[in-house]
Every structure is written in structure tokens, then in C-alpha cells.
Amino acid sequence: MLASITDDPPILVCADLQAEYLTPGRRHVILDGEAATVRCLELLAMWRQNLWPVMHLKRIAQAAWFNPASRLTDWIAEAKPRPGEMTFEHPLPSAYSSSRFVDYMSNIRNVRCVLIGFSLDETILATAVDGFHRSHRYQMAADAVACRKPGVGDAAAYKQAVVNVVGNFATIQSSAELIRTSGAVAV
């Protein structure tokens, strides 16, 4: 069932689109970061063109995870938040680890969000699970998400397994389907 045309548009949630994830040789480099980034930028452009709400999540953590003084924790230039777009920093994988995020999400009447970005196996998964338990509706664009290469095994199979898990807590679509349906979210 698709949301009504009279409903507010869904919020595009850009998860952890940070330079660290695209820097070769870095511990947290994303396997298919370039392909996912292209899809993220397409969706971000559509949301911005339609003046729909955009939210940016930024992972901040102890220096053992990311060096907070490094420029590598900065946004990817093309995905940098614009004035009027919401930003939330979260110390743990879930965006709900940000009290500001929790407050914001608690105060909107019809929570519908589309998840895109990096940290599929951390931020996106944890946020979808936490949101599900709060009765927030999430959707994920499967080709606009990416995760780090696992230490062993087939990276594509690992990503697909994580997408399948997220599918228990969110609706899964491709970016092309989202663009074709102009952001309508399945509920």
C-alpha cells in the first residue's frame, strides 16, 4: 500500500555520507562506495529539487573509531548539508543515540523516512530497528546504501544478507523505483 498523495513527503535520511568511507586505505573504506554515492546524490538532488525534507546523520565516535580532528570525518562535498536541512550527530550506530534526533522524531506526526548512505551494517540497520520499535516507518533504497568490506567472505553476499535483515524492519526499494514513484513510501 502506498502512502496517500496528500501525505507529507517522506524525509530523506542521508546516513554517514562522510569522506572517511571513500578514502582508499582507511579502515572504514566502503567496498562499493562510488556506486552507492551516485545513487545517493541522485535521490538527494530529487529531494532538494522538490523541496522535500532532508536529514543528514553524521557518525561521531571516540578517536579509536574516527579521529574527530581529522577532515576525513567531514561530509562528502556533493552531499554536504544545505541551509534548512537537518543534521544530527550520533555517537553509536543508531541515529536514535542522538537525543536531538529522538526529540525530533518524537514530535512529527507521520514518521516516514527513506534511508540512504553508508554504514548499512551499522547506522542504517540500527536506525531501522530502533525506528521499527518506535512505530516509525522506514524505507531503504537498496542500491543507495553500502557497507564496509567484511574481513572474510563474499562482500556482495554480505551486503545482500544485511539488506535482507533490514527488510524485516523497513520496506526495501531501488532508487529507480523511488524516483519513478516520486518518493512515495510503501507502508
Cβ contact 12:47 at 8 Å: yes
Contact 57, 117 (CB under 8 A): yes
- Cα separation, 142 vs 163, whole angstroms: 7
Strand segments (E) across 27-185: 54-59, 86-90, 112-117, 137-145, 171-173
* C-alpha–C-alpha distance, residues 138 and 102, integer Å: 15
The strand pairing partners of 86, in sequence order, are 55
pLDDT at residue 147, as a whole number: 85
Looking at the chain, the whole-number percentage of residues with pLDDT higher than 70 is 80
CATH 3.10.580.10 describes domain 11-180? no
pLDDT over 70 (residue 69): no
87 contacts 114 by C-beta, under 8 angstroms: no
Higher pLDDT, 107 or 66: 107
- Phi/psi for 127 (5° steps) reads -70, -40
Greater confidence (32 vs 184) lies with 32
Domain ranges of the chain: 11-180
pLDDT, tens digit, for every residue of 116-175? 998 899 999 999 999 999 999 999 999 999 987 666 678 788 889 999 999 999 999 999
What the block records as the C-alpha cell of 149 is 568490506
Round to whole Å and give the CA distance between 173 and 167.
10
**Grid cell of 155 as nine digits:** 562482500
Model pTM score:
0.86
Let me know: does 126 contact 94? Beta carbons within 8 Å: yes
pLDDT bracket for residue 185 (50, 70, 90) = low
Q: 29 is written with which cell numbers? A: 573504506
- Residue closest to 136 by CA, chosen among 55, 51, 60, 59: 55
pLDDT at residue number 1: 45
